[in-house]
Copies of this chain bind each other. A is one copy, B any other.
Amino acid sequence: MAVTDTVTGLEVHDVRFPTSEQLDGSDAMNPDPDYSAAYLVLHTSGGPRGYGSCFTIGRGNDVMAAAIRSLAPYVVGRPVPATAGRLAALHRELTQDSQLRWLGPEKGVMHMAAGAVVNAAWDLAARRAGRPVWEFLAALTPEELVALVDFRYLSDALTPDEALAVLRAAEPGRAERAGRLKARGYPAYTTSPGWLGYDDGKLVRLAKEAVADGFGQIKLKVGADLDDDKRRLRLARDAVGPGVRIAVDANQRWDVAEAVRWMTALAPYTPYWIEEPTSPDDVLGHAAVRSGQPVKVATGEHVANRVVFKQLLQAGAVDFVQIDAARVSGVNENLAILLLAAKYGVPVCPHAGGVGLCELVQHLAMFDYVAVSGSWDDRVIEYVDHLHDHFTDPAVVENGRYRAPTAPGFSARMRPASVAAYRFPDGPVWRARSQQREQEVSA
């Protein structure tokens, strides 16, 4: 663990799970996702490695992997980025390289690839510090945290001084909240019952299980058929009783007026929030949806960067900010978004599910609780109960709460056996499917 350790290699794998076969993850916009990860390993000259990934839903995961691979020159052959200062510098280099920036700027494949590398560097740094990322972050001073953030384009909404004030205000209670977090865990909600491809029986069964498992909130996918949505909401309400919140999620299915009409029709069924009513780029559209119908509005899993989050807050367009650990440029940009949300007083309820998203994002929500917003009121992390067994330090949810991770790092490491089995297209899981298809075609 000498300071002179260097990053010696960046290894990338295209890992895909055939989830479309069970319609896990199905919604109004994504009928048949194969949950996937462009997964990377930072090799080092000594000490622990770093792990990271970007979540996709199948096709195009090879392009994500190529984008991550193209970033090797920014890390390989350089000192291990073990300090906050080096992590800040790495984030800036990856997101402000003038030539790469042209491919976004700060959005889409290239930005997500930068985020995957940044997150792997945080995993590496936290492993070397022997701490989980949430605790590693919560041990930094307000000044160190502010120095991690790229404030470009934010100053009309949040200046470094204002960010410092947010962090300083939360400083006194850090230790107490960390203790409470370790003792009680962080509130979660579950989307497992609500995938659009599930039949009514499965929905009811899983909704009841969710309540029995201690969840105070579940989520249903909506937006394909209004009558179906009404029936499913009624069935879910009957199953969970009046005390459990039922959020709904349209996954960007609607135009603005359609969102207003649809949610006005669903409002009598008391959904807790409507998530992604329309395009994630449509700040003004979200503001119109929020003011045009009575249900609270949530969005963020597809919001490209801090500049769009800034506007959602400026425009009063959202009641909940849903950060995603792997959509923006990693921990540093998510810190900017947490600070923006704290300044505007809007709760952060992270998006998760996917491959590794629960594992990653729990650290950010917990850090937010300990050192940024200082609150978990009205805050919940999404949880979906699948694919966790492919990780060496899987997220653990008990009694409707995420247990605070204790293992060093970002909980980002996949089991080598899973990577080998699900590698696309050459892992045995995919080779078997490809052979089967060939046999069907020739039969």
Contact = CB atoms under 8 A, between A and B. Distances in A.
A67 B102 CA distance: 15
A158 to B, nearest CB: 11
Of the listed residues A57, A100, A284, the one surrounded by the most CB atoms of chain B closer than 10 A to its CB is: A284
Given A58-B99, A103-B63, A315-B284, A257 B108 contact: no
A304 B63 contact: no
A101 B257 contact: no
A98 B282 contact: no
Interface residues of A, number: 62
A56 to B, nearest CB: 5
A203 B126 CA distance: 51
A278 interface: yes
A109 B282 contact: no
Interface stretch (A29-37, A223-231, A329-337, A395-403): A29-37
Interface string A106-122: 11111111000000000
A142 to B, nearest CB: 22
A66 interface: yes
Given A56-B103, A60-B100, A102-B60, A283 B283 contact: yes
Given A29-B98, A285-B156, A311-B283, A103 B60 contact: yes
Contact of A70 (B31, B62, B252, B282): B62
Given A156-B255, A282-B311, A311-B282, A304 B107 contact: yes
Given A33-B99, A108-B103, A108-B109, A153 B285 contact: yes
A332 B59 CA distance: 23
Interface in A97-149: 97-113
Given A110-B108, A255-B152, A256-B156, A64 B281 contact: no
B307 A99 contact: no
B152 A302 contact: no
A154 interface: yes
A429 interface: no
A76 interface: no
Given A255-B156, A257-B156, A284 B99 contact: no
Contacts of A257: 155-156
A155 B113 CA distance: 33
Given A98-B29, A255-B155, A280-B105, A67 B59 contact: no
A305 interface: yes
Contact of A107 (B107, B258, B285): B107
Of the listed residues A62, A154, A255, A308, the one surrounded by the most CB atoms of chain B closer than 10 A to its CB is: A255
A129 B366 CA distance: 61
22 contacts: A30-B102, A31-B98, A33-B98, A58-B99, A59-B70, A60-B100, A60-B103, A60-B110, A63-B66, A63-B113, A64-B103, A103-B108, A104-B108, A106-B281, A108-B109, A108-B111, A109-B110, A153-B255, A153-B282, A155-B255, A156-B256, A281-B311
